[in-house]
Amino acid sequence: MTNREVNAAVRESLGLPPKLEPQPTVPQEGHICDFPIWSYSKKRSTLTKLTITYEDGSFFQLEAPKGLPGVSSPGYLDILLYFGQRDLFRQNYIEISAYSVMKHLHIDPEHGSSYQNFVRDMERNFALMMKTDRFIDPVTKQRIYVTYFRVLDTMKLAKTRKGTSRFYFNQVFLESLRSGYLKRLDFDFCLYLDRETQPLARFLYAHLLKRIGQKSVYTRRLTGFLNDIGLGYVVLIRYHFDYESVQIWRSEALEMSRYDPSVRRPCQEFGGTT
């Protein structure tokens, strides 16, 4: 008899119910933090399209005609959400200056290129278009729509870095955020990762926090998990996840044949949304 069979027999002899084995989790619902919306690579600015096909046949597709935003972009949006989370429960916009956003991220707002980089990334965020059939209809409990949405509907950028800008978030984006994400997320930790320029860790933190929920363990096949986060082409990765923080260790990352196999891509490309 195997150890598992012995343990099962002992539990049965003691009148205890069979011990439930943890089952691999296959994500079913759709949520904003599931999707790799923002770039976490300095070399991804030329990427204009990303498609993820999930194991259950659903999909997520992102189009970025201006290229994906840079590695500071998650920090810009986190500042908007952090300081606007109360307002965003009663309205769809937040007002703040680019100067304040950069100061909170410990980016020198007086540096010559800081404001230009902010405008560039916010324009790329504005240009992002997404579509997915991952969202479940609350009435039918089924996926009956392909939903098209953006991060921002309207953006009024001040002509000066100290002027107050106004950012109007997309309704689909807001509904997903209001469903609990804003309440559970530790924005102090998010901003710490943003200031350390760790957008991949920032994305994984939110992604895993949503997946873990009230559970003590989140079980997922490595290949499935990599596909979920838009890194399905990575075939070798070492990882460790902690509920309070996220740390990533990688040896050399190998890419599928659709990428040049002769190019060795260093770790910072992935830590440095697809």
pLDDT tens string 206-216: 888 777 766 66
Task: Look at residue 263 in the predicted model and tell me its pLDDT.
Answer: 38
pLDDT value at position 40? Answer: 66
Provide the pLDDT for residue 226: 80
- Mark the ranges of the chain whose per-residue pLDDT is less than 70: 1, 19-31, 39-45, 180-183, 213-216, 233-274
Q: What is the 3-state secondary structure (H, E, C) of the chain?
A: CCHHHHHHHHHHHCCCCCCCCCCCCCCCCCCHHHCCCCCCCCCCCCCCEEEEECCCCCEEEEECCCCCCCCCHHHHHHHHHHHHCCHHHCCCEEEEEHHHHHHHCCCCCCCCCHHHHHHHHHHHHHHCEEEECCCCCCCCCCCCCCEEECCEEEEECCCCCCCEEEEEECHHHHHHHHHHHHHHCCHHHHHHHHHCCCHHHHHHHHHHHHHHCCCCCCCCCHHHHHHHCCCCCCCCCEEEECCCCEEEECCCECCCCCCCCCCCECCHHHHCCC
Tell me, what's the pLDDT at 162? 94
pTM reported for the whole predicted model:
0.70
Task: Determine whether domain 26-271 maps to CATH 1.10.10.10.
Answer: yes
pLDDT of residue 234: 58
User: What pLDDT sits at residue 122?
Assistant: 95
Domain edges within the chain? 26-271
pLDDT score at 5: 77
